[in-house]
Amino acid sequence: MGTRIAAATKPILRARLRSTPANGHVSFVPQIRKLVFEYCEKWPSSANTRTYLLQHVENLAKANPHVEVVVLQRNMREPIVRGFYLNDRDKVISLKESEVNQIQQKVQLLLDSSGAKIKSLKRRPVESTTEATRGIWSGFHTAEPFKI
């Protein structure tokens, strides 16, 4: 019923006590968790994908033990590779009429990615969550106050 008196010190809000994510700062967790290859047994558009699956997929799985590699037969569909990431997003790339080395490049693209949505990376090279080390300049705290 009475008026609330403001606290003498600034209250600590619980959101400030959370830690911010910084993957790679101390330890790095690869962001890709699963790769799914979908192919057709008969159609010619999947021919190169079938060659890749017979020759290269096992070595890929051995070289990337953190990734779950799944081969899924989907008949009468175009070939596809799907990458699942830890941020619950997935990237789908069509392998229709791709040569085997092009398939290798697309798979490497999925392995290198973090799953984040593609956005323009031209403007801001440094993304920082820490406060400015040197402090922020304040016009009210200079040695000489500005005289009109």
Partner 1 sequence: MASLLKLSSARQLAARALSTQAVAAPPSTSSALSLIRSQPSQYVVAAIAGKKYLLAPKDLLTVPRLNDVRVGDILSLSEIHELGSREYTLRGAPLIPQEAVRVQATVVEHTKGKMEVIVKKKKRKGYTRTIKHKQPYTRLRIGSIEVEGAEL
In angstroms, what is the minimal distance from the CB of 138 to partner 1?
7
State the Cα–Cα distance between residues 78 and 93, nearest whole angstrom: 11
What Rg do the C-alpha atoms of the chain give, in angstroms? 26
- Of 41 and 112, the one with the shorter C-beta distance to partner 1 is 112
CB burial of 108-121 (b: ≥16 within 10 Å; e: otherwise) equals eebbeeebeeeeee
Using the minimum distance from each CB to partner 1, give the nearer residue, 67 or 95. 67
141 binds partner 1 (CB under 8 A): yes
Minimal distance, residue 129 CB to partner 1, in Å: 6
14-20: list long-range contacts, CB under 8 Å, 24+ apart. 20/129
* Contact residues for partner 1, defined by CB under 8 A: 20, 22-26, 28, 30-31, 109, 111-114, 116, 118-122, 124-131, 133-135, 138, 140-145
